Amino acid sequence: METTMRGICKMSAGPGWEYRTDLPIPQIGDGQVLMKVHATAVCGTDMHIIAWNEWAAKRMKDLPIVFGHETAGEVVQVGAAVKNLKVGDRISVETHIPCGRCFQCRTGNPHICENMQVFGVSVPGAFAEYAPVPASCAVPLAEGISYEMGSMLEAMGAGVHGVERADVQGKTVLVSGCGPIGLMAIGACRVHGAAKIVACDLFDEKLALAKTMGADITVNSGKEDVIKAVLDATQGHGADAAVDISGSGRAIVAGLRSLRKGGTLVSVGLPDGEIPINLTEDIIYREIVYTGISGRLMFETWDDCMNILRSPGFSLEPVIGGTYPLEDFQKAIDAINAGAPGKMILVP
């Protein structure tokens, strides 16, 4: 077996990244497997890592590191203590690596572990030919799920978790932000029986895909008034639920004000900094329930994603924005920065 591999590295603190052809193939620990990477999708988080914002600087201490975390591949080597996987298994990866010992882990919430490590952020990830994966975070791919689809499940899970917290069955729901997660969230709303789905974004191309994924009404929030559109769609009452994928302060406030009294807002997208909210008028007097979600329930959300994938009429195909060889990472980044719709996927 060869000893070096190609991969994309964060070399040092500060903006940028490097494509390397001389990286050592990772050595695995007893509880890990070595995954031959078949597809790794580019996430908003990776864009933060490239730009080196406050979020990235706080979490990435151990440099250089291969980043990239939304991935799928094939097990080629298993650690001595691994019992649940074998060579040849096709897997995706839960990126939250819990400690297994803290209060959250011991009370059924490992996805918000107090000592969380994050695959492809605080420990080496998958923009490379091989990646070391904790066996406890590997998720076997059901038959018929391609590696490209597999690489989208982690992001899909964030959208699905958000939609499930919003409890959309029979309800009118607003989905703000029609990037890949938003598009998958819209599809999940449809499968979960939402009565009416309103989607908003700043890009018409993304809104067209939102329709494909099942949105009933699309609103370009750069040109139209989202709150008015939702009120018009609900006889003036407001939506039962809103799921914010955008992380935009403006969209979050518009989401709150689009809700009926007693409605629910779920935040999935991450704002860059603090955002001003009028608690009295927008939340307290109107008895709004506002919650965030972080990643996926381990592993209920993954199961739900697999079921949604199998639902009649649901397809992830429209959400694939493009596939690129690893060395063309810059092209994928350029496409994302240009507002190209869908998920960009790197194939080593």
Q: Which residues are catalytic?
A: 45, 48
State the nearest-atom distance from the C-beta of 209 to Zn ion, in Å: 19
Window 10 to 49, contacts with Zn ion (CB under 5 A) = 43, 45
| Residue 147 main-chain phi, psi, to 5 deg | -65, -35
Alpha helix ranges (H) inside 113-235: 147-150, 153-166, 180-191, 204-213, 226-233
Binding residues for Zn ion, total number by CB under 5 A? 8
User: SS3 of 167, please?
Assistant: coil
Closest approach, Cβ 116 to Zn ion, in A, equals 7
For residue 343, the Cα-to-chain-centroid distance in whole angstroms is 10
Decide if 255 contacts 174 (C-beta within 8 A): yes
Is residue 56 at the binding interface for Zn ion, with CB under 5 A as the rule? no
Contact 306, 327 (CB under 8 A): no
Q: Which positions from 58 to 77 touch Zn ion by CB under 5 A, shown as an x/- string?
A: ------------x-------
- Residue 99 touching Zn ion (CB under 5 A): yes
Instruction: Name 139's bridge partners.
Output: 92
Asked if residue 283 binds Zn ion (CB under 5 A), the reply is no
Is 50 one of the binding residues for Zn ion (CB under 5 A)? no
Out of 23, 39, 105, 233, point to the residue binding Zn ion (CB under 5 A).
Answer: 105
CA distance 277 to 267: 14
Q: Which is nearer to Zn ion, 113 or 198 (CB)?
A: 113
Shortest spacing between CB 99 and Zn ion, in angstroms:
4
Q: Closest separation between CB of residue 114 and Zn ion, Å?
A: 5
Asked whether the bond before 299 is cis by omega within 30 degrees of 0, the reply is: yes
- Candidate residues 26, 68, 73, 98; the one interacting with Zn ion per rule CB under 5 A: 98
DSSP 128: B
Q: Which amino acid is it at 94? A: E
Cα–Cα distance, 126 to 131 (Å, whole number): 5
Binding residue for Zn ion, selected from 36, 47, 55, 102, defined by CB under 5 A: 102
> Per rule CB under 5 A, is residue 113 in the interface with Zn ion?
yes
Dist CA 11 CA 166 (whole Å): 40
Using the minimum distance from each CB to Zn ion, give the nearer residue, 71 or 218: 71
- Contact assessment for residue 123 and residue 115, using Cβ atoms and an 8 Å cutoff: no
Stretch that binds Zn ion, among 24-32, 95-103, 205-213, 258-266 (CB under 5 A): 95-103
Q: How far is the CB of 300 from Zn ion (least distance, A)?
A: 17
**Binding interface with Zn ion (CB under 5 A):** 43, 45, 70, 98-99, 102, 105, 113
